[in-house]
Amino acid sequence: MPKSKDEFDQLHPCDFYEADELLEPEKMYTVYEIARLMQGLDPNAEIDVETEEILLDWAIPWVIVNAEDLVVGEPESDDEPGYYGLKTDT
């Protein structure tokens, strides 16, 4: 149910990282790792499943919005996620 803005102590701008601010140019990341990076966590940080699901709700649209700046690498097997990285000139 929607809430009134006055119910919140503080409102923050909805500001997301640009792809080149978040990802290192020479690395490829899974969407799970991108989700962690968006929260300032190490890409290999251990987090509980419920938190990971919430973070994915932010990371998946971020990948879609930034698709022009990304390349995709195929997963090693069908049961693993794909990889995303910065599109570079190399």
Spell out the per-residue pLDDT of the chain, length 90, in tens. 999 999 999 998 888 889 999 999 999 999 999 999 999 999 999 999 999 999 999 999 999 999 999 999 999 899 999 999 999 876
pLDDT at 20: 95
Q: What is the pLDDT of residue 15?
A: 81
Residue 67's closest CA among 4, 27, 15, 18?
18
Q: What is the pLDDT of residue 11?
A: 93
Can you give the residue range of the structural domain that contains 36? 25-86
Q: Which residues pair with 72 in a beta bridge?
A: 84
Best CA proximity match to 59, nearest among 20, 26, 33: 33
Give this prediction's pTM.
0.83
Do the Cβ atoms of 56 and 35 come closer than 8 Å? yes
Q: What is the pLDDT at residue 16?
A: 84
Give me the number of domains the chain comprises. 1
Domain-embedded: residue 5:
no
Is residue 71, in this structure, part of any structural domain at all?
A: yes
